[in-house]
Amino acid sequence: MKFAIKPSASINSFILAGLLATVGASAMAQGAPTAPPAGPPAAGKSAGPGHAGDRMARHDPAKMQAWIAKRQAEMKAKLKITPAQEGAWSTYTAAMQPPARGARPTAEDRAAFAKLTTPERIDKMRAMRTQRMTEMSAAMDKRGDATKAFYAALSPEQQKVFDAEHMRHARHGEHHGPGQKKG
């Protein structure tokens, strides 16, 4: 029996995993809904990405963007952002947007990858992983810096609301099982 891993499938899986990790970090930085849903969402209604009610939201950029916009609107209302804080809010929400989806490997890329020896493919995958992790780390640092700058623009009362929302989200994330960052 022969087992083979398609190089293009491995690359695509790696890119997708990195994108989902980045989007998850972005969603974590934005807080969680105020109250957990009482049950499964009604038909056609999304509980948000990562919830069993609408798994497609993870793969549909339009649904993901709508969910992010809704969460941001809820947070803005809870924080009672003043006109003087509008610039800081805009800068913060722009920094929290998920990164653009990376380019898919072309047929030429897949053909070149297929011509490599196994050790060369391992080295190529290692280099790609290192590059992706560096990019993810830089994106997370950018989001962290944006959050700190926005937080500094908040009043002490707003900071308490912001802290509570992010803590609620961190506790909520613990219930989703292994592999997710816990606070």
Q: Give tens-digit pLDDT for 131-157.
A: 999 999 999 999 999 999 999 999 999
* Cβ proximity of 14 and 113 under 8 Å: no
* Cβ proximity of 98 and 26 under 8 Å: yes
What pLDDT digit, counting tens, does each position of 103-114 carry?
Answer: 788 899 899 999
Distances (CA, A) of 20 to 48, 134, 175, 180: 14, 16, 18, 11
Q: Residue 145: in which H helix or E strand, if any?
A: helix 118-152
pLDDT confidence of residue 2? 52
* Least confidently predicted of 34-43, 126-135, 150-159: 34-43
Assess if residue 137 is contained within a domain: yes
pLDDT confidence of residue 100? 75
Q: What is the mean pLDDT of the chain?
A: 74
pLDDT above 90: residue 89: yes
Distances (CA, A) of 131 to 75, 96, 118: 33, 21, 20
Does 137 lie in the same domain as 121? yes
pLDDT confidence of residue 173? 52
Does 114 lie in the same domain as 144? yes
Does 148 lie in the same domain as 114? yes
Assess if residue 69 is contained within a domain: no
Assess if residue 12 is contained within a domain: no
* Cβ proximity of 22 and 60 under 8 Å: no
CA dist 141 and 149 (Å) reads 12
Assess if residue 78 is contained within a domain: no
Local confidence band at 86 (pLDDT 50, 70, 90 cut-offs)? very high
Assess if residue 81 is contained within a domain: no
pTM value is 0.57
Left, alpha or beta for 116 (phi > 0: left; psi -120 to 50: alpha)? beta
* Least confidently predicted of 32-46, 57-71, 80-94, 157-171: 32-46
Assess if residue 166 is contained within a domain: yes
Does 148 lie in the same domain as 118? yes
Mean pLDDT of all residues in 45-57: 48
Structural domain total, the chain: 2
Mean pLDDT of all residues in 168-180: 52
Does 145 lie in the same domain as 112? yes
Does 178 lie in the same domain as 146? no
Assess if residue 62 is contained within a domain: no
Does 170 lie in the same domain as 145? no
pLDDT above 70: residue 12: no
- Domain region containing 129: 108-152
